Amino acid sequence: MRILITAGPTREYVDDVRYLSNASSGRMGYAIAEAAVAAGHEVVLVSGPVSLPRPARCEFRSVQSSQEMLDACLEEFPNCDGAIAVAAVCDYRPKERVTGKMSKTGQPLVVEFVETPDVLAELGRRKAHRWCVGFALEAQNARESALRKLRNKSCNAIVLNRTDAIGADVNNVEVINESGETAATWSGPKAEIARRLVDWIAGNAWVKG
C-alpha cells in the first residue's frame, strides 16, 4: 500500500516571530511511518515542525501551517491508498497576521481567531475508494468526543489517546472501528503501538477492498 501519514504540530503565526501551536512531539506519527515502511508499504509523511530525524525510505513533506498541511495532503492523497492522520493540527489561527514584530504597549492585546481548515475531515470527504484512520487526543468526555470525530470526519477508524501521550515515549490507545466498537486497546512504547496499528489496518476489509 501507499499510505499518507500526517505528524507533528502545526504553527499559526501571530506576527513574524510569534505563533500559536501545541506540544506535539511528532513521535507517534513518525513511529507509524517507520512501522509502515518496515512492513513493506510506501509512505508519504507530511510533517509539521518537530525535532526528530526524518524516517528513512519515505517521501517527506515539511509544512508549518494548517493550510500548508492541507494543501500537501490534498496533493498527495489521490496517489495513496489511504491516510493515517496523526498530526495535532491547530484548530484556530489569528484572523490577521501582523507584519514584523509586535512591541509591548502596556495595554492588553486582543487577537481575533478564526478556525483553520480541518485536514482529517477534508481527507474523509474526498476519500472515495480510499480509507482514513484518524487520531483523537481528548481530555474531557474522551470516548464520546472520539466517536463524534469518527462519524463527522468519515473515518474508517479512530485511535483515541489522552493528553499524557504528548511528548512521551509511551502511549495508551483505544482503536474504535466504524461501528463505534472497541477493536483493540494497546499500551506501551509508541514504536510497538505503531507496529500493531499498521498490522491491524492492513487486516481490515476496507483496506483489502
pLDDT at 209 exceeding the cut of 80:
no
Superfamily of domain 2-208: CoaB-like (3.40.50.10300)
Residue 81 near residue 131, CB atoms below 8 Å: yes
Bridge-based pairing of strands 42-47 and 2-7 is parallel
Query: pLDDT by residue (tens digit) across 115-169?
Result: 999 999 999 999 999 999 999 988 788 899 999 999 999 999 999 998 888 878 8
| pLDDT value for 141 | 86
The rounded distance, in Å, linking the Cα atoms of 172 and 51 is 23
Q: Which grid coordinates belong to 165? A: 501521550
Sheet of strand 182-189, all strands in order from the earlier edge strand to the far edge:
59-62, 42-47, 2-7, 82-85, 131-138, 157-162, 170-177, 182-189
Whether residue 171 lies in the annotated active site:
no
DSSP-based three-state secondary structure for 34: helix
Q: What mean pLDDT comes out for the span 38-60?
A: 97
| pLDDT value for 203 | 94
Residue 71 near residue 122, CB atoms below 8 Å: no
Q: Which sequence spans correspond to the domains of the chain?
A: 2-208
Query: pLDDT by residue (tens digit) across 80-102?
Result: 999 999 999 999 999 999 999 99
Element at 152 (helix H, strand E): helix 142-152
Burial track 129-162 (b if 16+ CB lie within 10 A, e otherwise): ebbbbbbbbbeeebeebbbebbeebbbbbbbbbe
Q: What mean pLDDT comes out for the span 67-91?
A: 97
Which is catalytic among the residues 22, 172, 177, 204?
Answer: 22
